Structure 1
Amino acid sequence: MSNVNYVQLSIVIVIFLGVTAMGFMAARWRSVGHLDSLDEWGLGGRGFGVFITWFLLGGDLYTAYTFIAVPAAMYATGAVSGFFAVPYTIVVYPIIFVFMARLWSVSHRNGYVTPADFVAGRYGSKPLSLAVALTGILATMPYIALQLVGMQAVFETMGLGGNNIWAKDIPLLVAFAVLAAYTYSSGLRAPAMIAFVKDGLIYLVIAVAILYLPHLLGGWDSIFGAAKEKMSQTNPNTGKPVGAFIPGEAGYSVYWTLALGSALALFMYPHSITAVLSTKNRSVVRRNAAILPAYSLLLGLLALLGYMAIAANVNITGLDGVANPQLAIPRLFDQMFPSWFAGIAFAAIAVGALVPAAIMSIAAANLFTRNIYREYFKKDATPKQEAKVSKLASLLVKFGALVFVLGMDKTISLNLQLLGGIWILQTFPAIVGGLYSRWFHKWALLTGWAVAMLYGTITAYNVVNPTTGKHFGGSLTTIPFTDRQAYIGLVAFGINLLVAVVLTFALRALGVADGHDSTHPSDYRADAGDPGVKDLPEILGDGTAPAKP
């Protein structure tokens, strides 16, 4: 503990206490009653407008892991593995502008809380709905864990780390306990309120870094020159260059498939959909799709911090003596900023972990409650019982994420998150395809999902990290019948679609019975207040729904 920077630590603690108080106060923020239903606890009453949703989605999608990992990838291997995040976050918003409003409408009209609810209603298939729910939960767990990894990198930079369990793990346990407590108490309203602080801090830190650090590092010529020199060096483990300053022709397929696959997958994550379903009408969804690209500018500037870390020659050796690129940005801030401002930067990263971790745990818990607990264990569960189960499930999800961080190597958490992206993309045909057509057969979709999940998992397992020798060492594979590499998730997605299309033709030709579609074409254009749009279920004071007349 002798190397702890107490100025930085004090500032982080003060800001952390502030957002903790906000998290508990949020239980009464914009509340119209008890938080004893998933609509209130898990979706914030479905009443967020454009301004709140913009911060909520920004806090949800641009996480502490983004703050750490994108510039760390730029630092380690250059533009191919780092800067692809910028075009993918540009591409994703026109995509969601087209289909997310339809998902909002059908969910509002039918009271759906999760994407698996929609799949169950659209296809009348419990197995397909269960597949979507389990995929969402599995893909979300390591994502939550990586938010805690981001916090751990900050704690280690401040001097809390190494082999001392009290210094290394206790701060993370305390942060976890506080996060679990105010999420349990306030539901989605807590991260929605804290997102204002998180985004404000991050914008402040990035603005100062972009304006201040180049002056200290000799200007952008010096920064880019140092990055180019590093990327041209030979990696002794592979005999190839360390990375790519500007991707060559061989890297084009890697770059665009990573960008496109990631864009298609991003809003399949349950936490992204949860944030969308918390809005009060269709126009809020579309307006946010139009203005969220402002965050892409932030992400582009954030990525350049990785090259600044190269120019600053930061030391990425952890307190345990192992090199860790995830420390590049915290060490850059620690080295280049005064201690008081580095403390603010570290607080931004820590708060940036709390917001998405809360939303992710709520989304995963909603999937368990609606599509596993209620469907298979208690079909007559009341809204109050659903809310209680979801609150408890959110605690278990956070606990599982904590086990990932404390009990496993950091690279395993990172690799599982990469695998989660491959998995969640395979729910796209059932969810987005169902928003526009009922042509796909339910068994064809389920088979396509299963084949793609198996292919993606095995292929990812067979990728060995040349430095560590561990499996799940990356997310790229060779495109069949070519010598080009591509994102495993997008290749699996292509296989998924092919199987679903072929089997749909076959099953319909054989006359195999399909599921019942409980939605109506008008559901997909419905808006709040439209004639025929039923109100969300009214919840009584005891958390039960009123009896039907």
Structure 2
Amino acid sequence: MNNGVNVTALAVFVLFFLLVTVMGFMASRWRKADNALHLDEWGLGGRSFGTWVTWFLLGGDLYTAYTFVAVPAAVYATGAAGFFAVPYTIIAYPLVFLFLPRLWSVSRVHGYVTPADFVRGRYGSKALSLVVALTGILATMPYIALQLVGIQAVLDVLGVGGGAGSNWFVKDLPLFIAFGVLAAYTYSSGLRAPALIAFVKDALIYIVIIVAVIYIPMRLGGYGHIFDTAAQKFSTPKSPGSLILAENKQWTYATLALGSALALFMYPHSVTGVLASKSRNTVRRNMAIMPAYSLMLGLLALLGFMAIAAGVGSGVKGFNAQLSVPQLFENMFPDWFTGVAFAAIGIGALVPAAIMSIAAANLFTRNVYKEFIRPDATAADETRVAKLASLLVKVGALAFVLTMDKQAAINLQLLGGLWILQTFVSIVGGLFTRWFHHWALFAGWAAGMVYGTYQAYGIASPATKHFGGSAANIPVIGEIGYIGLTAFVLNLAVAVVLTLVLRALKAPVGTDETDPDDYGAEAGDPKTQNAPVPAAAH
């Protein structure tokens, strides 16, 4: 590994970083709002994004820098098991096609900004709405931190930040600068900033991936040699992975893919991208064309095998697999194109980090601040609080990255998927039926959270004593599977049983402020035309 600064690559990286910084600040004038001091404008881009803007926004939102780094790193370290991300994204889009248009419609009719807003309106329960909001914030925080970890990986390979003897401030100064720029343009432009930058991010990633899957195999002797080298590595007795999935890992693979697919659009930042769409049909069209990103993801995963064939990390004791792709790019590409590839990863961190911080800020403002602290807050008050909350969320993520071991960030992100999956029953169940009792849903959520967190806490790995993985024994079946999905099944079972009990006892149910027609409303319908709109700034 080269410990010097790659000046050419760094110059190209900085050039693209400056470009997206300018775009971030200019975004406040793109589709300029009549009233910027409203969450519909700052937090949802005026709910005005069409098919292509939404496609790039969701792509920039869901396919993060950590995806760019972690998926091929998993393939590099474990082989076939690392490909679970490909089937889970294939499963996810047909699944969410069934319910996201319904969420868009009811949210547009009632002016809902967050999934917790919908839960509050559907079940009339502040407690259930609060835990959905807090779970969303909790699951999002380590996800934002991991975007900064992705930037750090690029900076490490570029040789930026000083050597081992540098003090902590000098070493992390580039990360501070990136954080400051991200915070500034998000505060200024809201969701419009990542929506505009997503065009650059996605274009760069597609260019880099297409070049990589053609150019790198040409340099390495073709795909046959790449797969032969990977097979040789994984055939050694001490190898932790395999080129073909072992029989005892198939349940883990399948349950992780299914559980991740169910969780993907429960994340607040995913919902934010959907609610920013201008119409129900825009959502449906995007769920139909988003699988194009799954093709990219499959090609991206192959970079892990290419890194093996290129000898990345070979002979380096304790080599960090997360650096395998950045190091592969530096070894294989000319310096100028290495800068382009690193810019794709770096910008791929900024876009989702911005959307995640906005989504977390919306949750805090709508479902904690306005609901419990200041019920009489105006639209302008909400927007000001959301802007400040987005800064605090980023500060928390930055502190997390700087003070904790990177393995902790990775493990907590795995927990994030487990946690956010426990909101599925309340949100998706509520989109189709009012049968569930809100206290039964609360109990199911609590059971899933406690069980899943406890099981994950007990897993050790070579890098950590606790939270060292996401798979454990599935009760009754006896197979090893994804803890999040097991917790979800427990959550659903508790919610069903307690609902039957509470309905038999005729326990009071909350007020449902929605109507059946709300779930099919389109942008041109009278219900959506008369929906809550941004009020005059106070």
TM-score class, shorter:
over 0.9
Which residue of 477, 486, 496 maps to 1:491? Answer: 486
1:223 is matched with 226
- After superposition, the C-alpha distances for 1:285-325 in whole angstroms (9 at most, x for unaligned) are 0000000000000000000000000000112899xx85211
Local SS of the residue matching 2:526 = coil
Match of 1:247 among 221, 245, 248: 245
State whether residues 160 and 167 of structure 1, in contact with CA within 8 Å, keep that contact through their aligned partners in structure 2: no
**Pairs within 5 Å for 1:8-27:** 8-27=9-28
Q: Kindly state the Cα deviation for residue 534 of structure 1 after the two structures are TM-superposed.
A: 4.3
Alpha-carbon distance between aligned partners in 2 of 1:43 and 1:429, rounded to the nearest angstrom: 24
- Matched residue, 1:137: 137
Question: Is residue 367 of structure 1 aligned with residue 370 of structure 2?
Answer: no
Q: Does 1:35 align with 2:30?
A: no
Q: Partner residue of 1:213?
A: 216
Q: Who is 2:301 aligned against?
A: 303
Give the aligned partner of residue 329 of structure 2: 333
Structure 1 residues 419 and 278, CA gap change in structure 2 (3 angstroms) = same
Residues 358 and 390 in structure 2, CA contact (< 8 A), matched pair in contact too: yes
Instruction: Select which of 234, 248, 251 maps to 2:237.
Output: 234
Cα shift at 1:451: 0.7
Shift of residue 232, structure 1, vs aligned partner: 2.1
State the match for 1:74 in structure 2. Answer: 75
Match runs of 1:157-176 below 5 Å:
157-161=157-161, 162-163=163-164, 164=166, 165-176=168-179
Q: Which residue does 1:505 correspond to in 2?
A: 500
Query: Which residue is equivalent to 2:425?
Result: 429
User: Distance in 2 between the 1:89 and 1:539 partners?
Assistant: 35
Deviation of residue 483 (structure 1)?
Answer: 3.8
Report the alpha carbon displacement of residue 453 of structure 1 after superposing the two structures with TM.
0.1
Q: With the length of structure 2 as denominator, give the TM-score of the two structures.
A: 0.97
Give the structure 2 partner of residue 314 of structure 1: 312
* 8 A Cα contact 2:312 2:327, kept in partner: yes
**TM-aligned CA deviation for residue 469 of structure 1:** 4.2
CA distance in 1: counterparts of 2:142 and 2:408, whole angstroms: 9
The answer for the alignment partner of 1:238 in structure 2 is: none
Secondary structure in 2 matching 1:233? coil
**Secondary structure at the counterpart of residue 486 of structure 1:** strand
For residues 136-166 of structure 1, the C-alpha deviation after alignment (integer angstroms, 9 at most, x for no partner) is: 0000000000000000000000012553235
Q: 2:353 aligns with which of 354, 357, 363?
A: 357
Separation in 2, partners of 1:43, 1:14: 29
Q: Is the 8 A contact 1:316 1:328 kept in 2?
A: no
> CA–CA distance in 1 between the matches of 2:195 and 2:528?
27
Q: Assess if the C-alpha contact under 8 Å between 1:233 and 1:242 holds in 2.
A: no
Determine the structure 2 residue equivalent to 1:535: 530
How many angstroms apart in 2 are the aligned matches of 1:274 and 1:229?
A: 45
CA distance in 2, matches of 1:11, 1:266: 33
Letter of the 1:381 counterpart: A
User: Partner letter of residue 177 of structure 1?
Assistant: G
In the alignment, what sits opposite 2:475?
480
Q: Give, in whole Å, the separation in 2 of the partners of 1:216 and 1:325.
A: 22
User: Residues 87-102 of structure 1 correspond to what in structure 2 (within 5 A)?
Assistant: 87-102=87-102
Q: CA deviation at 1:218?
A: 1.1
Query: Within 2, Cα distance between the matches of 1:304 and 1:273?
Result: 29
State the match for 2:149 in structure 1.
149
**Which ranges in structure 2 are unaligned for 5 or more consecutive residues?**
none
Shift of 1:404: 1.1
Task: Quickly say closer, same or farther: Cα 1:532–1:242, change in 2 above 3 A.
Answer: closer
**Structure 2 letter corresponding to 1:134:** L
Match of 2:51 in 1: 50
1:534 & 1:52 partners in 2: Cα distance?
22
CA contact (8 A) 1:227 1:310 kept: yes
C-alpha offsets along residues 365-408 of structure 1, whole Å, 9 cap, x if unaligned? 00000000000011011000000000000000000110111010
Q: How far did 1:78 drift? A: 1.2
The normalised TM-score by structure 1 is: 0.95
Q: Is the 8 A contact 2:407 2:463 kept in 1?
A: no
Distance 2:259 2:314 in 1: 30
1:79 CA drift (Å): 1.5
Shift of the 95–75 alpha-carbon distance from structure 1 to 2, 3 Å rule, reads same
Q: CA offsets per residue over residues 302-356 of structure 1, 9 Å max, x none?
A: 00000000000112899xx852110000000000111110010000000000000
Query: For residues 534 and 419 of structure 2, what CA distance do their matches in structure 1 show?
Result: 36
After superposition, residues 114-129 of structure 1 pair within 5 angstroms as 114-129=114-129
Q: Does 1:377 align with 2:382?
A: no
Rounded to whole Å, the distance in 1 between the matches of 2:260 and 2:114 is 21
Query: What's 2:283 paired with?
Result: 285
In structure 2, C-alpha distance between the alignment counterparts of 1:468 and 1:202, rounded to whole Å: 31
Which stretch of the first structure deviates more once superposed, 140-149 or 531-540?
531-540
Greater CA drift, 26-35 or 40-49: 26-35
Give the AA of the match of 2:524.
G
Shift of residue 482, structure 1, vs aligned partner = 3.7
Q: 1: distance between equivalents of 2:501 and 2:318?
A: 54
Identity of aligned residues (%): 64
Asked whether the equivalents of residues 379 and 535 of structure 2 are also in contact (C-alpha less than 8 Å), the reply is no
In structure 2, distance between residues paired with 1:167 and 1:332 = 26
| Contact kept in structure 2, 1:476 and 1:487, CA below 8 Å | yes
Whether the 8 Å CA contact 1:156–1:168 is kept in 2: the answer is no
Q: Deviations over 1:478-514 (max 9, x none)?
A: 1113442100000000000000000000111111111
Q: C-alpha displacement at 1:539, in angstroms?
A: 3.4
3-state DSSP class of the match of 1:532? Answer: helix
Give the secondary-structure state (helix, strand or coil) at the position aligned to 1:477: strand
Q: Is the 8 A contact 2:38 2:535 kept in 1?
A: no
- Of 184, 191, 194, 1:191 maps to 194
Superposition map of 1:270-281 within 5 A: 270-281=268-279
> How many angstroms does 1:34 deviate by?
3.1
Alpha-carbon separation, structure 2, partners of 1:155 and 1:259: 31
> Residue 232 of structure 1 contacts residue 242 of structure 1 at CA under 8 Å; is this kept in 2?
no
C-alpha displacement of 1:540:
4.9
State the number of aligned residues.
Answer: 534
The corresponding residue for 1:463 is 459
2:174 and 2:427 map into 1 onto residues whose CA distance is: 39
Offset from partner CA, 1:50-85 (integer Å, 9 cap, x none): 0100000000000000000000000011111x1010
Secondary structure of 2:376's aligned partner: coil
* Residue identity matched to 2:96: I
